[in-house]
Amino acid sequence: MAIQPRFLYNNVLRGITPTWSGTSVSGSTYENALDWLDYSYFQANSGNLDFTMTADTDIDTLSIYVANFTGTGSQSIVLQYESSPSTFTTLVTKTTTSGKLSFDDFSGVTVSSGRKIRFVITVGTGALLIRQLVVGESMTAERGQWASATPPTFYQGIKVTNSISQNGSILGRSIKRVEKQGQIKLDHLSASWVRSTWEPFAQHAARYAFIYQWNERDYPLETAFAIAQDIKAPNHTNSGLLSVDMPCRFLVADENAI
């Protein structure tokens, strides 16, 4: 079985102004959960966050990036959709904790135009700090990746600069943590897949972050909030096949999904 990297980037929630039944904190409103930024967050208490679709919309994947939970008691996020007027069907239920990043599949559904995608957020006491909410259809690479893959959860070391005296004694050292980096490098791709699937993703990655799961088969819980560092043009290999290469920076909340 090949290792197929997966991506979630086409967030169907973007561009839709939701309604929020809970209270809002200035500077920490729901817009921050849709901005593809890792440093801002939606400070949520209990309530419903409703997005009304403007067209028939297919969805099969949910990602939630939780920064922190400041409070006590139980907390959860439930993804629902309006399957018929005023009737909501649950797709995913998450019991959240601090510093978690998830990538969850569910049986794909079509949310009809005029109906809602809903997050039911329940917080015991305090506030749940949500960095990112993503709902859409996941993209699976046409080919697997192994030799060139860098697991985003691996510790990638530090860079040490030593200060040396004239007699060779070590006077001190400067330590810089190396950020988590890797590359998406896929080979032997069909021209049709690159044109129809990779190119729209690359156009998104030029401006925004995305959710990346490097190895669903062996490490399904290793998920990263990824940012492209360079987007290279596809290259022809042989027999009309192509290769793509995208060095990335990985932000990993925790190697265990929520």
pLDDT grade for 157, boundaries at 50, 70 and 90: low
Which two tokens mark 139? 């993209």
The domain made up of 6-138 has a fold known as Jelly Rolls (2.60.120)
* Residue 215 pLDDT exceeds 90: no
**pLDDT value of position 172:** 76
- Which token pair is 128? 């749940």
In this predicted structure, what is the pLDDT of residue 155? 63
**pTM summary value:** 0.84
Q: Report pLDDT for 16.
A: 94
- The position carrying tokens 């070391």 is 157
pLDDT digits (tens, 9 = 90+) for 24-77: 888 899 999 999 998 899 998 899 999 999 999 999 999 999 887 666 778 899
The domain 140-251 is placed in CATH, from the list 2.40.30, 1.10.3470, 3.90.550, 3.30.1360, at 2.40.30
Decide if 6-138 and 140-251 have a common fold: no
Q: How confident is the model at residue 225 (pLDDT cuts 50, 70, 90)?
A: very high
Q: Any residues with CB less than 8 A from the CB of 223 and at least 6 apart, and which?
A: 63, 101, 102, 103, 152, 211, 212, 213, 252, 257
- pLDDT band at residue 1, thresholds of 50, 70 and 90? very low
> What ranges do the domains of the chain cover?
6-138, 140-251
HSE, CB side, 13 Å, CA atoms: give it for residue 21.
Answer: 11
Higher pLDDT, 95 or 133: 133
Query: CA–CA separation, 141 vs 63, rounded Å?
Result: 18
Give the pLDDT score at 163. Answer: 84
Q: What is the mean pLDDT of residues 100-123?
A: 94
Q: Which residue has the higher pLDDT, 155 or 256?
A: 155
Contact 99, 68 (CB under 8 A): yes
pLDDT in tens, 173-198: 776 555 678 889 898 999 999 999 99
Q: What is the pLDDT of residue 97?
A: 58
Residue 256 has a pLDDT of 38
pLDDT tens-place string over residues 115-147: 999 999 998 887 888 999 999 999 999 988 877
Answer whether 91's CB lies under 8 Å from 110's CB.
Answer: no
Greatest alpha-carbon pair distance for the chain in Å reads 81
For residue 28, give every residue at least 6 positions away whose Cβ sits within 8 Å of its Cβ, in sequence order, or none.
Answer: 40, 41, 42, 43, 129
